[in-house]
Each structure stands twice: as C-alpha cells, then as structure tokens.
Amino acid sequence: MLTVTDLLTAEGFEVQSATDGPSGLARALAEKFDLIVLDVMLPGKNGFEVCRELRQ
C-alpha cells in the first residue's frame, strides 16, 4: 500500500513528516512549507488543532 509520502516523493516532491501533532506543529512553525497535509487523527494534538494554531 502506498502512502501519501510515497506518492509525493515519487512525483519529485521533498517530503517531511511528523509522528504526532506537537512535533508537527513545532516543525511547521520553525520552517517554511509550501503545503502542509494534516491527519485529523494525529496523537497529542489532532490535525484540526494543529491547523487552528498555525492559522493564529
């Protein structure tokens, strides 16, 4: 089964990932990204919470 990471990498995109909401939020705040794909089932902080904090 292919993941979103596999598909994007195969198309030539540089992909970074995080295993939970807090680490994903920290990474998103520390770096500049053109696209962020969030999982609504992330542990620690779900994707909706991460999105809300990034938009503030």
Q: Any idea what the CATH number is for the domain that residue 46 is in?
A: 3.40.50.2300
**Residue 22 belongs to domain spanning:** 4-55
Provide the percentage of residues in the chain whose pLDDT is more than 70: 100
**Torsions phi, psi for 29 (to 5 deg):** -75, -25
Q: What's the token pair of residue 2?
A: 């292919």
pLDDT computed for residue 21 by the predictor: 97
Q: Kindly compute the dihedral angle of the four CA atoms of residues 18, 21, 23, 29, in this order, to the nearest 10 degrees.
A: 100
Query: Residue 7: which pLDDT band, with cuts at 50, 70 and 90?
Result: very high
pTM as predicted: 0.83
How many domains is the chain built from? 1
Range 50-56 contact pairs with CB under 8 angstroms and sequence separation of 24 or more: 50/21, 50/24, 50/25, 53/25, 54/25, 54/28, 54/29
pLDDT tens digits for range 11-22: 999 999 999 999
pLDDT tens digits for range 22-49: 999 999 999 999 999 999 999 999 999 9
